[in-house]
Amino acid sequence: MTSRVLLPPANLAVIGGGQLGRMFLQAAQRMGYTAGVLSEVEDGPGAQVANWSVVAQPDDLSGLKALASRAQGITVEFENVSAPALRWLARNRLVRPGWKTVWVSQNRLREKTFFASHGLPLAPWKPVRTKDDLEPALRALGLPLILKTAASGYDGKGQVRVDRDIDLAPAFRELREVPCVAEGWVEFACEVSVVVVRGADAKAVAYPVGLNHHERHILDSTTMPAPVGPIVSQEARNLALAVAEALETVGVLTVEFFLTSSGQLMINEMAPRPHNSGHLTIEANVASQFEQQVRALCGLPLGGTDLVQPAAMVNLLGDLWSGGEPLWDVALGSDPGVKLHLYGKRGAVPGRKMGHLTVLDPDPRQALDRALAARARLVRR
Ligand code: ATP
Ligand code: MG
């Protein structure tokens, strides 16, 4: 089963119909595959471009059966897919990443325990399963600390920063006293991430390191390559490859790091899939992270990860729509190098990822400046 290769026009599917699912579908179609989606909504970003759709919740059994009846290879766009469902699908279909990878990544307690058991460097952390764990966590980590729900957080949701000891118990209550991890606050110099891909033959490749800038806990921009020097860069890529190897995952995997001013890398978290910080690989690298997701799923040789040119990506959040439709013509007209990606989402809510811009430039800082300038021109002043 695992040595099987799916060649075009085989039928592939992705569980999850957001922007990541959409970009997987587009990559699969470009390579000649037929590509479907399991989507919660009929006209989401994925379903809009898919060759076929099943409208169901990601763990709905009849939906998964409908998916398996058509698709020979199945992947996921997010980690909050039921692991038993993936295991069930894998009995008759190629499913990549496998349920174990997804199961470890969908819970911060499991993820951190896993990293620690493999000797991987982490920000200081303690498990907080009940109120009784708060006091020991505080003593071990000091202040400020950050409480994060173990399950189902994204874009900083399910996180509370705690600056005073009297705020700790209320913060845990605010998170409804669900299992959490407490993390020591890291005064990082910057944040970086590495996208890696591990193929069905266990060969793995890493992309260059991306420099990430967050606003309000949401990714705002990525610049590749990150200006971190060859030693840190090699170490970050090796650590990300080590994570993929330890998980024995097949597919794309992203590792996010904090980098301290003394050059120390600490793993923040991982995602067993393409990542927002890898969107610029669509234009900037030999093979995009989505093409690699297709290749790994299908058992094909992996593509090249080298940068064709340095690049930067800036996210377009729903906030940009507050004064009406952004001025696409103005932004595109002022710099012919700007590449626009919109995900087809209806309803621009502040903080919602609606699209992104990518710019390639021989100088990565210039690439970022140009992408930021184009974004600034989207709104009327
Ligand atoms: P996403 O899935 O979108 O990456 P998330 O909700 O899983 O986000 P994290 O990656 O844990 O959240 O945190 C989001 C951001 O908040 C980080 O990228 C970082 O900027 C900040 N942050 C999180 N934990 C810490 C910490 N311990 N110290 C300092 N900053 C932190
Ligand atoms: Mg994160």
| Residue 155 Cα to ligand 2 middle (Å) | 7
Give the pLDDT of residue 155.
77
Q: Which ligand 1 atom is the nearest neighbour of the CA of 275?
A: 4
| Residue 310 Cα to ligand 1 middle (Å) | 25
| Residue 161 Cα to ligand 2 middle (Å) | 15
SS3 105: helix
- Residue 15: pLDDT over 50: yes
Indicate whether 208 and 138 sit together in one domain: no
**What average pLDDT is seen over the chain?**
96
Is 6 among the domain residues?
no
Indicate whether 29 and 88 sit together in one domain: yes
Indicate whether 154 and 258 sit together in one domain: no
Indicate whether 243 and 313 sit together in one domain: yes
Q: Which ligand 1 atom is the nearest neighbour of the CA of 153?
A: 6
- Ligand 1 probe mutation, 268, 279, 356, most atoms within 8 A of CB: 268
Q: What is the mean pLDDT of residues 311-331?
A: 97
Count of domains for the chain: 3
Taking CA atoms only, the protein residue closest to ligand 1 atom 3 is: 155
| Residue 154 Cα to ligand 2 middle (Å) | 7
Q: Which of 184, 216, 235 is the last residue of a domain?
A: 184
Q: How many angstroms separate the CA atoms of 25 and 6, rounded?
A: 15
Give Cα separations from 25 to 5, 15, 47, 59, 98 (angstroms).
18, 11, 9, 20, 19
SS3 93: coil
- Residue 153: pLDDT over 80: no
Indicate whether 209 and 287 sit together in one domain: yes
Give the pLDDT of residue 287.
98
Ligand nearest to the CA of 258: 1
Q: Which ligand 1 atom is the nearest neighbour of the CA of 157?
A: 6
| Residue 211 Cα to ligand 1 middle (Å) | 14
Q: pLDDT, tens digit, for every residue of 27-77?
A: 999 999 999 999 999 999 999 999 999 999 998 999 999 999 999 999 999
Indicate whether 236 and 367 sit together in one domain: yes
- Ligand 1 probe mutation, 78, 159, 162, 253, most atoms within 8 A of CB: 159
Give the pLDDT of residue 2.
47
pTM: 0.96
Identify the band that residue 3 occupies on the pLDDT scale cut at 50, 70 and 90.
low
Q: Which ligand 1 atom is the nearest neighbour of the CA of 188?
A: 29
Indicate whether 216 and 349 sit together in one domain: yes
Contact between 357 and 316 under an 8 Å Cβ cutoff? The reply is yes
At 130, give phi and psi (nearest 5°).
-135, 175
- For 204, the domain range is 188-376
- Residue 360: pLDDT over 60: yes
Q: What is the mean pLDDT of residues 168-175?
A: 97
Name 353's bridge partners.
Answer: 317
* CATH number where 16 lies: 3.40.50.20
| Residue 109 Cα to ligand 1 middle (Å) | 15
Give the pLDDT of residue 1.
46
Give the pLDDT of residue 149.
97
Is 297 among the domain residues?
yes
| Residue 21 Cα to ligand 1 middle (Å) | 23
Is 117 among the domain residues?
no
Indicate whether 58 and 199 sit together in one domain: no
Q: How many angstroms separate the CA atoms of 59 and 99, rounded?
A: 13
Indicate whether 22 and 143 sit together in one domain: no
Indicate whether 192 and 286 sit together in one domain: yes
Give the pLDDT of residue 154.
78
Is 3 among the domain residues?
no
Q: Which of 168, 184, 200 is the last residue of a domain?
A: 184
Q: How many angstroms separate the CA atoms of 364 and 212, rounded?
A: 13
What residues are in contact with ligand 1 under a 6 Å CB criterion?
Answer: 123, 146, 148, 153-157, 183, 185-186, 191, 214, 217, 256, 268-269
| Residue 184 Cα to ligand 2 middle (Å) | 15
Give the pLDDT of residue 182.
98
Full strand arrangement of the beta sheet holding 159-162: 125-128, 180-184, 145-149, 159-162
| Residue 257 Cα to ligand 2 middle (Å) | 9
Indicate whether 225 and 369 sit together in one domain: yes
* CATH number where 139 lies: 3.30.1490.20
Taking CA atoms only, the protein residue closest to ligand 1 atom 22 is: 217
Q: Which ligand 1 atom is the nearest neighbour of the CA of 271?
A: 2
Q: What is the mean pLDDT of residues 270-291?
A: 98
Ligand nearest to the CA of 20: 1
Q: What is the mean pLDDT of residues 184-193?
A: 97
- Ligand 1 probe mutation, 215, 217, 273, most atoms within 8 A of CB: 217
Q: Which of 144, 168, 184 is the last residue of a domain?
A: 184
Contact between 71 and 93 under an 8 Å Cβ cutoff? The reply is yes
Is 90 among the domain residues?
yes
Q: pLDDT, tens digit, for every residue of 240-255?
A: 999 999 999 999 999 9
